Amino acid sequence: MNQILSKSNKLKDVVFTVTGHSVDSKSRKHDNVFSRMIYSKILNEHGLGPSAICRTLNKDHSTIIHYLDEFGPLCVSKPYVREWYNTARSMFNFSSTNLASMSRSELINNYLKVISSIVEVRDVLKSFKDQMPNDAVSEFARAISMSEELIQKEDSGVKSNCCSNCGSTNINILSKGASFCFSCGRKV
């Protein structure tokens, strides 16, 4: 039970970091509900059933079943929720890995996936900037600026994580800086 609580608390922090909305909020505003749906979906993917998830949220198990059933269609109708989910899932999966047991190439691949997620979030932020009221634009501009600074800082020492042949991000950096694309088999 303690392991479930530890895992759920980590995920609550990750979801809040990505969405800006607390999973524990009692609010029924859409973005708060979407945050709880993302949280439920990720815990479900990690083997927790609706009954276990509902105890971490103080919700009825039927609410969790509804969250899980409606999550797929929600991601189709609201692309930003899909982006939040992908980012939160990547961050949570990365934070759950044991870095000490990973090889150098696994560490580099995970690092590149995180940078790719940051790029995706930046692009989503840019696309929503035009749709925001004027008072929220400055916050979005600050978030975009921070993500661009991080990307530039990180890109300075790492090769591109996209295959020039097929466009895949499934790249493995081998020793001496050579890269290999798992999708098309080409040396990048």
Based on the structure, what is the number of domains in the chain? 2
- pLDDT tens for the chain, 188 residues: list them: 566 667 788 889 889 988 999 999 999 999 999 999 999 999 999 888 999 999 999 999 999 999 999 998 998 899 899 989 988 888 887 665 565 566 777 777 777 877 777 777 777 767 766 666 666 666 666 666 666 666 665 554 444 445 565 555 554 544 445 555 555 555 65
Q: Rounded to whole angstroms, how far apart are CA atoms 184 and 188?
A: 10
68 near 40, Cβ under 8 Å? Answer: yes
Q: What amino acid is encoded at 15 in this protein? A: V
Burial 125-151 (b: 16+ CB within 10 A, else e): beeeeeeeeeeeeeebeebbeebeeee
Model-level pTM? 0.54
Same structural domain for residues 49 and 106? no
**Could you say which of 72, 95, 118 is where a domain stops?**
95
Domain that holds residue 17: 2-95
> Roughly what angle, to the nearest 10 degrees, separates helices 30-45 and 79-95?
40
Same structural domain for residues 21 and 78? yes
